[in-house]
Chains A and B, each alone.
Chain A
């Protein structure tokens, strides 16, 4: 019976559950969401695709002509690519609702503007 008091108090208080898809909790500063590439800064060194533990980053082409393909379905948001990037071209955003039914839609391509 030692929980009775707390139980009675809780009965008349607002639940703590967040009605998730309708209300969202703001994510904190420094949250590791979907990484994005800034192709103006990218020098195409390929380090990000080399260090990626889950093979989520693919380099197409070489050097300054390269493109980056990011397969977000493989990404595990460790942010090692952000850390390894010598030009700080990669940033982790606060985007986290990335689930879906179609893998082909989970490919983010980063092309250079010529």
Chain B
């Protein structure tokens, strides 16, 4: 790397942001890193305002006061919501909140690398720019799997599968910026599992009260594919009384529901890749995103892909921060003249 002149730009705070459908994370060059649930809430009415104050709420606080808030998930379905003013505001608010969490010095310049779901990158690059314009001096926007790949140094002959909540994004790296053909996106991801699970459970236990939030936390705690050693039991209320339900098979079926499509897409992408390097790519598949934490998912995919030959799948160490750390690495490495002015 050419040595950069020491000047103002080195005082700037470099940040990497991972804008996710379910969770958003930030990592900054001052060593701080934080994450929040991608939820933004505005008090619904004057009662709510009296209780919560006239302010915007984020993350867990939103979950807590869900009933008295207008809640927006700014990146539902992997694209920036648009339509009402609140939708557009919510992204900006979320980014502002994330930046405030890493506590930049007052008036410190901020150079931000933002990773977004691949679909959002295509559809609303400008909305992202607008959302961050108030907070950052310079900005680059990249797709989420690319940020992960960059952060892990998997720049050559690697495949990243970022299984988030809204979308599953694929990206093949081959030593250059991935082109359109090297990236693909499926809309079946974590949220889809939740819906499947809710459907299966209400079918089997019509009397029990399950809701999306409960289901999501079940999955995050106990999600698995393949064989399970223990029985999975959860408590849910039937007519107000707690009853224990066995959800082992439902959980497996729901979690496995997204995998055939993922395996097929991965195989297709590898098959289209230069044959000389296919072996290398197959042995360098990296799973990222929240769904990579589902137990047994790597074994399942390895088996599914084994018809193409032996392959090796690894899971990122810390899926929560992999994207943000990758963004930060990118922000740190980016030569000054490559940054875009806001």
Q: Do A and B bind each other?
A: no
Which residue numbers of A lie inside 8 Å of B, CB to CB? Answer: none
| A-binding residues in B (CB < 8 A) | none
